[in-house]
């Protein structure tokens, strides 16, 4: 018997895979997050590394299924069940005005973003979501 998935995954990326239209994130970054964990009295999850869509969904669905089965994650927790060779860390961040648990993935040397040796783009995972957007200059016209 399959467990029903009763949450959504929302992904805003650097580039749309179909139209190739840029959406405003720094390269290699995105804002992928769940909606629906509140029904389990749990914060939603977020991934900001622009991994493949199937990989992002695998990570977010794995954590969400654990919550649905009764597990409760907390800020700073290391999760060993996502990758075989390293744990991911869950860190509290703000996404669209709400608290989420961001899945912080170490680089290929298992360095986390706060370590100065951490590889780019993994290093960007330490920033608030709003800092991951590309800010475009808007020309302002003064009419006299």
Domain boundaries, the chain: 28-129
Buried b / exposed e across 68-90, counting CB within 10 Å, b at 16+?
Answer: beeeebeeeeebeeeeeebbbbb
Structure confidence by residue, pLDDT tens digits, 31-84: 999 999 999 999 999 999 999 999 999 999 999 999 999 999 999 999 999 999
Bridge partners (DSSP) listed for residue 34? 9
Q: Rounded CA gap, 66 and 62, in Å? A: 6
CB atoms < 10 A from the CB of 66, how many?
15
* SS3 of residue 109 by DSSP: coil
Q: How confident is the model at residue 23 (pLDDT cuts 50, 70, 90)?
A: low
């Amino acid at each position: 018997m399959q467990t029903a998935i009763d949450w959504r995954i929302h992904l805003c990326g650097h580039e749309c895979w179909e139209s190739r239209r840029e959406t405003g994130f720094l390269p290699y970054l995105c804002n992928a997050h769940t909606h629906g964990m509140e029904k389990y009295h749990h914060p939603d999850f977020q991934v900001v590394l622009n991994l493949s869509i199937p990989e992002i969904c695998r990570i977010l669905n794995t954590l969400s299924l654990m919550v649905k089965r009764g597990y409760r994650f907390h800020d700073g927790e290391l999760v060993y069940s996502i990758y075989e060779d390293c744990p991911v860390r869950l860190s509290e961040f703000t996404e669209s005005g709400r608290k989420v648990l961001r899945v912080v993935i170490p680089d290929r040397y298992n360095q986390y973003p706060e370590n100065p040796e951490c590889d780019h783009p993994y290093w960007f995972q330490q920033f608030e979501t709003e800092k991951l957007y590309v800010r475009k200059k808007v020309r302002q016209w003064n009419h006299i």
